[in-house]
Chains A and B, each alone.
Chain A
Amino acid sequence: MTEREAAITTPTETETSPPGVTRSSPLKLLLSSPSATAGAIIVGIAVIVAVVSIWWTPYGPLTVNTGAEFLRPSLAHPLGTDEYGRDVLSRLMTGTQITLLSSLGAVAIALVVGVPAGLIAAFRRGTTGEIIMRGADLLYSFPALLAAITLVAALGASTLTATLAIGIASIPVFARVTRSTALGVLSTDYVLAARAYGRSSLQIARRHVLPNIMPILVAQIALLLSVTILAVAALSYLGLGTPPPAPTWGGMLESAQNYLYQDPLLVLWPGLAIAVTVFGLNALGDGLRDILDPTLKGRS
């Protein structure tokens, strides 16, 4: 970077963040918000559980154990066993992995398509931008779950179909956020200076726009993840997601509902897993948004 350019780009940092905030480390920033800290801890635990379950669970999540059906929680089975004598903790751990992977996949689809679409719409504000945003509006007006059911009707129930459907339905979220925040960055003086300096749109997008909208996108990722987790759980509950016997939170709820009179506890664990994870992601997303955009603080 030449000296002249450095002089142009440095103000970027102070422009978007309040003075003093940019200088501290990301970790310190996170800890400054109790909501974000609590959310990060919960989400961190969920991620660790998911990663551990790849290599280790107390029992096989699919191992049927005749004679050990509906065991109450004990030292051997901390969360008890289900109608086939399968260990509930093991199934819940593997379910965390399936749920997180599917939700992350959906968010990744939305991110990879939505952010470039939003950027293009911000740079080309004429017909191209208009067409992109109308498309986003069309997709947005179509409820995600309905889109997912339609796609499942055509392709059959699978993890991939569910991920794809929720991902496509979430594209407008990123397209809209990216466009509106990018427009703000594009109207600044330093972008004007970069243009005058002869930088191409692609270079401006990479060097000025993306770094500036990244914080907003990160908060949006956390918030969207909570929505996609709910959608993934709902689809697998309806039998339209990952097919059994693979353990999913929604699928575990669905089968536990048949045994409410024998063992109501079986419903509690997957229900709790969904609620706590969604709560954590919401807290993290809200907290991040407050840190990154202090003008919104206390508004929601």
Chain B
Amino acid sequence: MLIADLPKANDIASRRRAHVHELRRFLVRRLATLVITLFLASVLVFWILNILPGKPAQVILGTQATPSAVAALTAKLGLNRPLVDQYLHWIHGLLTLHLGDSYISSQPIAPVIGAALEVTGPLVLGGLLVGLLIAIPLGIASAIHHTKRSGVVLSGLAQVGIAVPNFVLGILLIIVFAVDLKVLPASGFTTWSTSVTGALESLVLPAISLGLVEGAILARYIRTSVVEVLGADFLRTARAKGLRPNQALVRHGLRNASIPVLTVLGLELSGLIIGAVVIEAVFTLPGLGSLLLSSVANRDLITVQDIVMLVATTVLVVNLIVDLLYRIIDPRMGLRS
């Protein structure tokens, strides 16, 4: 390449502008897809929960109830209106953050979900933290040693970690740390207002059970990605400049290696959010998952609908954000998919 052919400074600036422009168009397109997906998901969830047999009023009042009592409750809950009306009413409520009242307790749902999020939110973040703390060192170490025996042992460890379900791990941790050593609570939750350290203590084991498995999966991707980068030409160039292997990896390798890992991280976050439902059951934490399961058991379908949509929206938005980050870090990525 001739010197004259190299990009000039203003060329680079205009290229960056073009990139930002394309990024904006990508965002608009993805937001449109998100809205359509959420709309279809809400129709599907509403349809599944409302078309199928089992009248909520009959279930709530029990088999002893008179038909007139059932009819009265059905009218009170608004369940005798056309389904389209009910659907629009529900969606309008969601959009204006009026989540409606529980079929069972007649109390507003929003504060109940809010209280549950105080448990689930920190749990998911803690799980993510644990996962990253495990995955990054384990992944990089097993990549650097991938031809040696220690690397094989490390990736074998990750394989075992993937095979152990988080709820099994949770029960094993309870046996070791709560039953045998008696250092951490086996179940239940101390509220944040009662004691912050108490709340943190009740989240330690759940967060580890949630994060360890996701960390093992992530470690495998990080390993693959770093192994690929280790063989790249630009790393050889960096070494030729006189950088030591570790310096070259930290300065040039890890940023490149992080690109494919980021997409997986999005999936992992969805995995953590869904995994929290199971982990909350293991440790009887009063979070969103427990609320969902008890609502299913009580046939409090409106609460089920709200929580399912909340979780689905969170998962979709997280994926959108990760997708966007991915394209900001790596401008080479096409923006057209």
Contacts and interface: CB of A to CB of B under 8 A. Distances in A.
Interface stretch (A75-83, A135-143, A177-185): A135-143
Contacts of A278: 162-163, 165
A299 interface: yes
B171 A257 contact: yes
Contact of A149 (B179, B220, B292): B292
A51 interface: no
Contacts of A256: 171
Contact of B224 (A253, A271, A299): A299
Contacts of A300: 220-221, 224
A153 B301 contact: yes
Contacts of B220: 300
A41 interface: no
B167 A143 contact: no
Nearest to B178: A260
A300 B163 CA distance: 15
Interface stretch (A18-26, A120-128, A190-198, A230-238): A230-238
Contact of A146 (B164, B174, B311): B311
Contact of B299 (A153, A264, A299): A153
A155 B160 CA distance: 35
A149 B69 CA distance: 29
Interface stretch (B45-53, B104-112, B194-202): B45-53
Contacts of A238: 277-278, 281, 293
A237 B281 CA distance: 9
A154 B44 CA distance: 12
Counting chain A CB atoms within 10 Å of each CB, the highest count among B41, B220, B228, B295 belongs to B41
B274 A141 contact: no
B58 to A, nearest CB: 14
A143 B171 contact: no
Contact of A267 (B162, B172, B304): B172
Contact of B308 (A149, A155, A234): A149
A217 to B, nearest CB: 22
A141 B167 contact: no
A253 B171 contact: yes
Interface string A185-205: 000000000000000000000
A154 B171 contact: no
- DSSP class of B's interface residues: helix, strand, loop or mixed? helix
Nearest to B167: A237
Counting chain B CB atoms within 10 Å of each CB, the highest count among A137, A240, A257, A274 belongs to A257
A55 B320 CA distance: 51
A149 B159 contact: no
Contacts of B299: 153
Measured as residues with beta carbon below 8 angstroms from the partner, the interface class of chain A is 35 or more
Contacts of A226: 163
Contacts of B304: 149-150, 153
Contacts of B171: 253, 256-257, 260, 267, 271
Contacts of B48: 150-151, 154
Nearest to A271: B168
Given A138-B40, A153-B301, A234 B179 contact: no
B259 interface: no
Contacts of A240: 293, 296
Given A276-B163, A279-B160, A153 B49 contact: yes
A276 to B, nearest CB: 7
Contact of B316 (A141, A154, A283, A298): A141
A233 B278 CA distance: 11
Contacts of B295: 153
Interface string B208-239: 00000000000011001001100000000000
Interface string B286-328: 0000001101100101001000100110011001000000000
A141 B313 CA distance: 10
Counting chain B CB atoms within 10 Å of each CB, the highest count among A149, A239, A261, A282 belongs to A149
Interface string A241-276: 000000000000100110011001001000100111
B274 A260 contact: no
Contact of A141 (B52, B160, B221, B319): B319
A261 B174 CA distance: 11
B120 interface: no
25 contacts: A141-B315, A141-B319, A143-B311, A146-B308, A149-B296, A150-B45, A150-B48, A150-B49, A150-B308, A153-B299, A155-B52, A237-B281, A238-B278, A239-B293, A257-B171, A261-B179, A264-B179, A267-B175, A274-B165, A275-B163, A276-B163, A279-B163, A282-B163, A299-B224, A299-B228
Interface of B: 37, 40-41, 45, 48-49, 52, 54, 159-160, 162-165, 167-168, 171-172, 174-175, 179, 186, 220-221, 224, 227-228, 270, 273-274, 277-278, 281-282, 292-293, 295-296, 299, 301, 304, 308, 311-312, 315-316, 319
Interface of A: 137-138, 141-143, 145-146, 149-156, 226, 230, 233-234, 237-240, 253, 256-257, 260-261, 264, 267, 271, 274-276, 278-279, 282-283, 298-300
